[in-house]
Chain A
Amino acid sequence: MIWNETKECMSRDEKIVLQSARLVKTVDRVYHNVPFYRKKMQSIGIEPGDIRGVEDLHILPFTTKADLRDNYPFGLFAVPQSEIVRVHASSGTTGKATVVGYTRKDLEIWSECVARALIMAGVTRNDIIQVAYGYGLFTGGLGAHGGAEKLGATVVPMSTGNTKKLTTMMVDFGVTAIACTPSYLLHIAETLEESGEIDKIRLKTAVCGAEPWTENMRRQMEERLHIHAHDIYGLSEVMGPGVACDCEFHQGLHVYDDHFLPEIIQPDTLEAVEDGETGELVFTTITKEGLPLLRYRTRDLTSITYETCECGRTLPRISRFKGRSDDMLIIRGVNVFPSQIESALLEMGETTPHYMMIVDRVNNLDTLEVQVEVGENFFSDEIRELEKLTKKISHVLQQAIGLAVKVKLVEPKSIERSMGKAVHVIDKRHLV
């Protein structure tokens, strides 16, 4: 089934006309309402009139996560604060959050996009869906919730944190669909297997996102839970979950390009790459009111195709993500930069600046261990003091990144010194 056939199956020519009109409006609006963009455009000598359609997209300036941070909290909003009806926030690299804002119309478009994704995944108004993303500042919970309500499904707003209650309700309510992170779904599968309830569930669809996952994980969850699992993509800066999703043919994720204009660029030269070639995904939002962004660099590496899908949609498709053009890690759905760990450790002043992050997946849940060298200046010969230090570091890091961190003290010089770019992360999850 297709939620919005007009938009999702539109011919390429018609789509370009629609996109161009929306882009021109967006550029005009940000130029006049957002000083940051006006200055940026003026500094490279362009005016709103220079943008006549999508063919001129490439002359617009880029936007990065740093720009959002520098204009914290509301500096990039393009409407008066009274028009903003909700904000969300994600953790930033330097402790400051990245704040995003939505007008009432933005929320309507967001729920439409999520509804399109859900129906693409086979969820209908007859389904009972558990939304098991975290509710709150994170866009996952409320984003999926809004779309599921728009669709007319029966929504169970589980949030995260109580797997036992989730599985009990899944059985008792006859839940047929779930939205959560892929690693959490595998954890749920395990809980169901252990409790012997796996044969009592009526689940048929899962819409998973907020962290990268593999075909292998899809096969695993499909076999263990007897479901169809779909990949939903999004990022709070652009909107939240529902920027793209894969259909029953699983040939890439359909991007809702009537709202989000995708480009794939070479991260070094910033030049466009050919369709099918891997590069960094860049989005220009063309309907957003609260926080419109021009050419936002997602840092996600993928490729794009404009061929019509077997499902009939003409929406472009992006491939499964092949990594990132920066060093950001997604751990349990939380964005983590090694630099956050580094600055937190340096601020404490009690450790050497050498550290190693070991990311692993144990029982289908991501774990983060940070190894810290015990320098001579803070080596105590009392176990109690060293354990106190371990706890303190762990607490400071948890405050900095919003994730539980296991700290391991290691001997000086045992963390490999690199001649070039320091290696601070060992990711054992083998996702890419």
Chain B
Amino acid sequence: MYMKQLSVFMENREGRLEEVLAVLKNNKVNIASLSLADTNEFGILRMLVNKPEAAYNALKSNGFSSRLTDVLAVRLSHRVGMLQELLEAICEVHINIEYMYALSTGGDDASMVLKTSDLETTEKTLRDKGVEIITPEEIGLDFD
């Protein structure tokens, strides 16, 4: 079960992030998690939001280049070495991690959002290892 992640292209200059967030606020979009990848000149804002489709359309009509991408969200128990074990499993099947960031679920465990070169195999590999895959419903996504 994949999550729909919302990504937005932004120039790396003052005020741009605020403008994106203003569009989301005006459309009553709630952000569950976000990560900002930046280069010298541009950045990519990646978010899990409660209404990905609506958020995407709102950004589009406000002139932003954005897209919805499938990502995997996994729940990890809060112990030393857990993340390393997860990555080890992914490495073993020769999958590259494009990016990852933390997801706050409010519980005691640590959750991660993952984008890999092969999501399907990643999901299967992790399930086989007994890693729990988080569904959108679980963290209140896709619901108002």
Contacts and interface: CB of A to CB of B under 8 A. Distances in A.
A414 B32 CA distance: 29
Contacts of B44: 381-383, 386
A408 B41 contact: yes
B4 to A, nearest CB: 12
Contacts of A409: 9, 41-42
B26 interface: no
Nearest to A411: B11
Contact of A383 (B16, B37, B63): B37
B77 interface: no
A387 B43 CA distance: 11
B39 A387 contact: yes
Contacts of A412: 63-65
Interface of B is mostly: strand
A413 interface: yes
Nearest to B71: A381
B116 to A, nearest CB: 11
B10 A411 contact: yes
A410 interface: yes
B66 A379 contact: yes
A413 B9 CA distance: 12
Given A381-B44, A381-B46, A386-B42, A411 B63 contact: yes
Contacts of B69: 381
A63 B44 CA distance: 51
A253 interface: no
A374 interface: yes
Contact of A374 (B16, B46, B65): B65
B9 A411 contact: yes
Contacts of A408: 41
A376 interface: yes
A410 B69 CA distance: 21
Chain A interface: which size bin?
10 to 19
A384 B39 CA distance: 10
Nearest to A387: B39
A355 to B, nearest CB: 15
B60 interface: yes
A381 B100 CA distance: 12
A375 B60 CA distance: 11
Interface in A364-405: 374-376, 379-384, 386-387
B67 interface: yes
Nearest to A413: B63
Contact of B64 (A380, A381, A384, A411): A411
B66 A376 contact: yes
A381 B45 CA distance: 8
Interface in A218-239: none
A369 to B, nearest CB: 10
Interface in A101-138: none
Contacts of B64: 411-412
A374 B39 CA distance: 15
A381 B10 contact: no
Interface string B16-55: 1000000000000000000001010110101000000000
A381 B66 CA distance: 8
Interface in B58-98: 60, 63-67, 69, 98
Nearest to B69: A381
Interface string A140-170: 0000000000000000000000000000000
Contacts of A414: 11
Contact of B67 (A381, A383, A384, A411): A381
Contacts of A387: 39
A379 B41 CA distance: 15
A366 to B, nearest CB: 20
A376 B37 contact: no
Nearest to B40: A408
Given A410-B11, A411-B11, A379 B39 contact: no
Contacts of A384: 98
A373 to B, nearest CB: 8
Contacts of A375: 65
A384 B63 CA distance: 23
A202 to B, nearest CB: 43
Contacts of B7: 379, 381
A302 B65 CA distance: 45
Nearest to A385: B98
Which among B39, B46, B65, B69 has the greatest number of chain A C-beta atoms within 10 A?
Answer: B65
A374 B63 CA distance: 11
Contacts of B60: 376
A6 B64 CA distance: 69
Contact of B65 (A376, A382, A383): A376
Which among A374, A381, A409 has the greatest number of chain B C-beta atoms within 10 A?
Answer: A381
Given A382-B44, A386-B9, A408-B41, 12 more contacts: A376-B65, A376-B67, A379-B65, A381-B5, A381-B46, A381-B67, A381-B115, A382-B99, A410-B11, A410-B42, A412-B64, A414-B11
Interface of A: 374-376, 379-384, 386-387, 408-414
7 contacts: A374-B9, A376-B60, A379-B7, A379-B65, A382-B98, A409-B41, A410-B11
In order of increasing CB-CB distance, the 10 nearest A-B pairs are A381-B7, A379-B65, A413-B63, A376-B65, A374-B9, A374-B65, A379-B9, A412-B65, A381-B69, A382-B98
